[in-house]
Amino acid sequence: MNGAREHWGSRLGFILAAAGSAVGLGNIWRFPYVTGTNGGAAFLIIYLVAIVLIGYPMMITEVGIGRRTQRNPVGAFKALAPNTPWWLVGALGVLTGFVILSYYSVVAGWSLSYIFKAIAGFTPEMAFDELFVGHISQIGEPILWHLIFMALCVGIIAAGVVRGIQRWVKLLMPILAVLLVVVALRALTLPGAGEGVAFYLQPDFSEVTGTTFLDAIGQSFFTLSLGMGAMITYGSYLKKEDTVPGNGAYVVGADTAIAIIAGFAIFPAVFALGLEPGAGAGLTFITLPAVFAEIPAGSFFAFLFFVLLSIAALTSAISLMEVVVAWITDEKGMPRKTATILVGAISFVVGIPTVLGYSVLSDVTFLGFDLLDTYDWIANAIMLPVGGLLTAIFAGYVWTAKKAQEDFNTPPSRIVLGNWYGVMIKFIVPIAIILVLVFGIIDVV
Ligand code: PHE
């Protein structure tokens, strides 16, 4: 251990950092689409239930483990269960953070490059599918943007928790919120926007199937950055007098609000132009630029959109990097700057195959996935649920729900965890995650 542990300068510092981690690509390109195709408002209701029953209990569990132990995920499990193999759950989290960071940075690099493509201007005659495929199937350019994005993360993380993370999220998160509202207002005021709102929210219970529930649970997990120690790490910079249930509620609320607003930014615009909505990279880098190209001052709004997407990715990526850096500095005693540069350099290299997967390595596939989707699938479908499941079992049965609940309720806060916490963390959360894990694997294999 080197020196005293840093702590957030204020409650807001923690809330913005944790919300920054939670609000990411998942909110902008996944949530709206999953909602639109799973019955709109019908899905939203199920999603909100999943957030309350599964996301919130897991959020406070992770934040609470961090606050209690004041350690990185590996050290946290060691502190609560000394001389047992439970620290491996923390180690899995560190590894997951590392894997997600390596390809998240590649996608964030595409977003950075699109800021400049938007500045150069989007016009209706452009073929946006070719533009995108042309970009990602190059080698030098995407690798350079990946490097630039990773360097930004390194710069922020090396500066420390308060002077790095907190300082930047305090600047960036308000900008993100304002940009999102501006883009949503632009979209909602386009002629024909109503159809998009209808697609997004019209409740259609006939679309609700077993998969809808699994999608809702899976999304609630990924979007809140759960299952890999990010919230344990950020929680470890809380002081003992900071509350867990209250702070956790703000983070969950902010993430949910941003996800819902993102839907209002995307669908009205897509439908106003009579285009088909899609998900993921296609929606963000092909459909939306085509939409922006058609509307007045569209390149300007495209610029704002890619700035906001890049900010969302950056504040998530730094939380991934912080998990690994906290582990190395706490457990191995390496100075923070050295650790950060090392982690940045290794993740940069580990991410490179996901770039090459669209050119020289395009023949390499796994279960039909290209390399980037393979990294993504292994992390999201396997590593996050396994990490979350083991964390829930640990809190519920090893540390015990009763002790955890008592710890999280001190000092007293406006939200008091009742005995329902034990029911959730011991039964509901593990069962839900097992279902997601099993059906997620069956679905693909
Ligand atoms: N929550 C982020 C998103 O929605 C992704 C993420 C997962 C970030 C896990 C950090 C840790 O995009």
For ligand 1, whether the C-beta of 222 sits within 6 Å is: yes
416: left (phi over 0), alpha (psi -120 to 50) or beta: beta
pLDDT given for residue 114 in this prediction: 98
- Residues 6+ away with beta carbon under 8 Å from 254: 15, 19, 22, 23
CA of 97 relative to ligand 1 center, distance in Å: 9
Q: Using the structure block, give the residue that is written with the tokens 């004041």.
A: 70
Ligand 1 pocket, 25 CB below 6 A? Answer: yes
305 lines ligand 1 (CB under 6 A): no
Distance CA 312, CA 306 (A): 10
Find the farthest-apart pair of alpha carbons in the chain and give their distance in angstroms, rounded: 65
Residue 1's pLDDT is what?
Answer: 44
Asked whether residue 372 is assigned to any structural domain, the reply reads yes
Within a domain: 36: yes
Is 27 inside a domain boundary? yes
Which residue type, as a one-letter code, is found at position 426? K
User: Does residue 3 lie in a domain region?
Assistant: no
328, 334, 337, 342: CA torsion to nearest 10: -60
Quick one: tokens of 94?
């560190």
Check pocket membership of 109 for ligand 1, CB cut-off 6 A.
no
| Whole-prediction pTM | 0.95
User: pLDDT value at position 3?
Assistant: 62
Provide the pLDDT for residue 281.
Answer: 83
Q: Is residue 5 part of a domain?
A: no
CA nearest ligand 1 atom 12, residue = 24
Can you state the angle between helices 73-80 and 56-69, rounded to 10 degrees?
80
Closest-CA residue, ligand 1 atom 10, reads 225
Domain count, the chain: 1
Q: Is 6 domain-assigned?
A: no
Pocket test for ligand 1, best of 102, 104, 316 (most atoms within 8 A of CB): 316
Q: Which ligand 1 atom lies nearest to the CA of residue 27? A: 4
Query: 316-344 as b/e, with b when 16 or more CB fall inside 10 Å?
Result: bbbbbbbbbbbbbbbbeeeebeebbeebb
What b/e sequence results for 142-153 when a residue is b if at least 16 CB atoms lie within 10 Å of its CB, and e otherwise? bbebbbebbebb
Atom of ligand 1 minimally distant from the CA of 224: 1
Taking 50 as the pLDDT cut, the residues of the chain under it are: 1-2
Pocket test for ligand 1, best of 47, 105, 111, 225 (most atoms within 8 A of CB): 225
Atom of ligand 1 nearest to the CA of 316: 8
Instruction: Compute the distance between CA of residue 259 and CA of residue 253 in angstroms, rounded to an integer.
Output: 10
CA of 187 to the centre of ligand 1 (A): 25
At residue 369, φ and ψ (nearest 5 deg) are -90, 145
The parent domain of residue 137 ranges over: 11-444
So what's the pLDDT on residue 5?
93
24 lines ligand 1 (CB under 6 A): yes
CA of 105 from ligand 1 middle (Å) equals 12
How high is the pLDDT of residue 282?
A: 85
The CATH number assigned to the domain holding 405 equals: 1.10.4160
Spacing, Cα 21 to ligand 1 middle (Å): 6
Any ligand 1 atom below 6 A from CB of 103: no
Which residue has a Cα nearest atom 6 of ligand 1?
225
Ligand 1 centroid to 39 CA: how many Å? Answer: 24
**Is the CB of residue 252 below 6 angstroms from any atom belonging to ligand 1?**
no
C-beta separation of 63 from 234 below 8 A: yes
List, for residues 394-425, the tens digit of each pLDDT value.
999 999 999 999 999 999 988 999 999 999 99
How many angstroms does the Cα of residue 296 sit away from the middle of ligand 1? 33
CA 420 to chain centroid, in Å, comes to 27
Residue 33 has a pLDDT of 81
CA of 192 to the centre of ligand 1 (A): 33
Any domain includes 93: yes
Is 2 part of any domain?
no
Q: Does the C-beta of 96 come closer than 6 Å to ligand 1?
A: no
Q: What is the 312 CA–ligand 1 centroid distance (Å)?
A: 10
